[in-house]
Structure 1
Amino acid sequence: MTLDAGGTNFVFSALSGGKEVVNSIHHPSNAHDLDLCLRTLIKGFEEVKAKLPQPPVAISFAFPGPADYKNGIIGKLPNLPAFNKSNGVALGPMLEDHFKLPVFIGNDGDLFTLAESAAGVVPFINEQLAAHGVNKAYKNLFGITLGTGFGAGMVINNRLNEGDNGSASEVWLTRNFRNTNWYSECSVGVRPVLNHYQKFSGRDDASLTPKDIHDIALGNLEGDQQAALLAFREMALVIAESLCNAITLIDGLIVIGGGLAGAFDLIAPDIILAMNGTICKTDGTEIPRLIQRVYNLEDPHQLEQFLAYRGVEIEVPFSKRKVFYAEEKRIGICKTKLGTSQAVALGAYVHALQHLS
């Protein structure tokens, strides 16, 4: 059984074989009243359970943080104010006690990335490589979600990296490339895009949405097109540097989800240009910013280049045998293959299965 937990509504459902097996059940989150909110959670899962053709084996879902996800304890939440009135809510243990089932709670960025690793971008790219006769398979993925904030998740060797304290992949807290007194999320997300546009255009229009600014940038809506393009570029440069810092440690594919992933075609060129750029040594000479070359996997031409692992045959010393050597190390970046909300739900399912097994 699973849950989509929003600040306004809770949407309950259940998955089997990776697919939804009941019609979703909607209830107001009752975010103003902790007791009512918790009883709503129990009620929703009870209603799902009653619809299932066989008993459920686990409960797994994403929930806002800060939280101790491993132990199922939720901290103080901005969008669920009822949780602010306590030092922590043992949500997982409460559900375990009531339903007598294992309960898994995760961060949406983690679950999004886990699903894209299991059934999205990673298998897609590996199938493409195999079809091109390339003997290589990717097992590592860094996912970011661009929405209200700047979230992320990390899969290493096909397993979610949750960290020892349940606080892995906190990319929003990396130092901001454009203003080193800030953290990255100050420049990445819905509100920063609006702020960037207002700054560059000199127009204070509170009615605009990121979709409006996206349309202005494309020339499909009246407005300051140059300011709109600069707004997305400003965000892209901060994302790029945060991704560089992450990829130097992870060395894997990158996937982008969240509401602002719809602007992928606007931000990806600047992200990739920066990641494929240079950084200076102490003597001023430049070296590549990354060891890997980054490719836009949404661009058919770059995808074909990425899949064409060119190299040379080199001789094994003291032998007549030859081996293939592809000198260029490469990674790719693309937008979600599954859709963000679908990926989070599927990620919760995969997360539970991995723990149960």
Structure 2
Amino acid sequence: MTTNPEDDSRIVMTLDAGGTSFKFSAIRGNKAITQPFAVPSNGDRLDACLATLVGGFERVRESIPEAPVAISFAFPGPADYPRGIIGNLGNLPCFRGGIALGPMLEAKFGIPTFINNDGDLFVYGEAIAGFLPQVNSLLEKAGSPKRYKNLFGVTLGTGFGGGIVRDGELFRGDNICAGEVWLMRSKLHPKTNAEEGACIRAVRRAYGEIAGIPFDLTPDPKTIFDIGNGKVDGNQTAAVEAFRLLGESVGDSMAIALTLLDGLAVVGGGVSGAWPLFLPAIVDELNGSYTSPTGEKFRRLAQSAFNLEDPAQLETFLQGNKREITVPGSPRKLAYDSMPRVGVGMSRLGTSEAVAIGAYAYALSQLS
């Protein structure tokens, strides 16, 4: 079981690498000790991109009070992360063919370098210092005997990312391809993958189709969210439905993952601020049903799903169905909660901070 590194005094330089920008920071004791800064990634030119990476970490190193013990950061997509080799990434085309980025940075800075998937590190950070411990704390305060060890998470932005933490440990898989939720089948468009219904372009596409607007003329998701809330002029019905469809698509993929993982679920990413319009649809999908060949309906999940951003649902989730039972033939009593349930909620740290804390914790675990 990974322990919380909040009391660790070592410094790790971190990076949240996206297709358009690189966000640098340095973490000690689960807290940023420098002001994070972002620079353009130059992802279409290898020399410029590598220079950006080196320059960013040099800038961080100059701003911290003592020498860092490692570099640890996230990249958006599958790669040979244990060896530090970045391969074919759609958002960063300059790395096509395989670039030994980790060994290059180790040689340049003289410290170990760890690279992981951004979705993985987001969920790892939320499991260590965000959503997972907060929910467990609320359960403890409510007098519930229930505690959670597993967390599934998704990020909604330019793409659809995912990650898994099992029993406190980051689960990466034998090919470092665990949590690749974007490659699940789309419920709404079965001939394509789940990402096409669970990202920025999905919201824009759905809004445009319903409102009768060409995709290139559709607004960004933040504006569509404001339209849905009546704060900005536009097709409010189309905006609300666009986010509902996003929630249905995400909920379908989440249901498949939770069937296998059985834990809590957390949502982050650039679209996550619009959660009031899509989180209810995620939970509705999780609580949906199948129909047998004889017409009988049965639950999609064995567990009941709760929206932990809804105060009433949170209260029901925390209370569960707890009671005392007596051990047969003995006066001994045990606390028993007979309600299997999953809770779904939003990032407690913010996506970039969660990625940084996940990267920090991962580096410390490897150094140990």
1:78-134 alpha-carbon deviations (Å, 9 max, x no partner): 3333223xx100101111222232111111111110111111111111111111111
Q: Which runs of 4+ in 1 moved over 6 A?
A: none
> How far has the Cα of 1:24 moved from its partner?
4.3
Q: Normalising by structure 2, what TM-score?
A: 0.91
Q: Is 1:4 matched with 2:27?
A: no
Distance 1:59-1:304 versus aligned 2 partners, 3 A rule: same
Distance 1:271 1:309, change over 3 A: same
Contact 2:23 2:38 in 1 (8 A): yes
Question: What letter corresponds to residue 309 of structure 2 in structure 1?
Answer: E
Displacement of 1:25 after TM fit?
Answer: 5.7
* Equivalent in the alignment of 1:13: 25
- Decide whether aligned partners of structure 1 residues 209 and 46 sit closer, same or farther in structure 2, where only a CA change above 3 A counts: closer
1:274-353 superposed matches below 5 A:
274-353=285-364
Stretches of structure 2 that go unaligned for 5 or more consecutive residues are 1-12
CA distance in 2, matches of 1:166, 1:31: 22
Aligned with 1:78 (options 90, 97, 100) = 90
**Residue of structure 2 equivalent to 1:117:** 127
Match of 1:174 in 2: 184
Check if 1:90 corresponds to 2:100. yes
Percent identity between matched residues is 50
Whole-angstrom CA distance in 2 between matches of 1:249 and 1:320: 37
Query: For the Cα contact (< 8 Å) 1:132–1:308, is it kept in 2?
Result: yes
Displacement of 1:207? 4.8
* 1:25–1:48 contact (8 Å) kept in structure 2: no
| Cα displacement (A) at 1:173 | 0.8
**Structure 2 counterpart of 1:225:** 236
Distance in 2 between residues matched to 1:26 and 1:265, nearest whole Å: 28
Do structure 1's residue 193 and structure 2's residue 207 form an aligned pair?
Answer: no
C-alpha separation in 1, matches of 2:185 and 2:20? 32
Q: 3-state SS of the aligned residue for 2:209?
A: helix
Q: Which moved more, 1:57-66 or 1:46-55?
A: 46-55
**Unmatched 5+ residue regions in structure 1?**
none
Counterparts of 2:236 and 2:299, CA distance in 1: 32
> CA offset at residue 189 of structure 1?
0.6
CA-CA distance at 1:175 after TM superposition: 1.0
CA RMSD between the two structures: 1.8
More moved, 145-154 vs 18-27: 18-27
Deviates further, 74-83 or 123-132: 74-83
Match in the other structure for 2:8: none
The separation in 1 between residues aligned to 2:108 and 2:298, in whole angstroms, is 58
Q: Which residue of 2 aligns with 1:129?
A: 139
Secondary structure in 1 matching 2:271: helix
Q: Deviations over 1:314-349 (max 9, x none)?
A: 343343434333221011111111111111111111
Q: 1:111, 1:157 → 2: CA distance? A: 15
Match of 1:69 among 75, 78, 81: 81
Q: Distance in 1 between matches of 2:48 and 2:193?
A: 36
Instruction: Write the deviation string for residues 141-173 of structure 1: whole angstroms up to 9, x where unpaired.
Output: 111101111111110101110111110001111
Q: Find the partner of 2:45 among 1, 23, 33.
A: 33
- Tell me the residue number matched to 2:157: 147
The letter of the residue matching 1:78 is G
Q: More displaced, 224-233 or 322-331?
A: 322-331
SS of the counterpart of 2:204?
helix
Answer whether contact 1:4 1:10 (CA < 8 A) is retained.
yes
Pick the aligned partner of 2:114 from 79, 85, 104: 104
Q: Using a 3 Å threshold, how does the CA distance of structure 1 residues 200 and 279 change in structure 2: closer, same or farther?
A: same
What is the distance in 1 between the residues matched to 2:36 and 2:282? 37
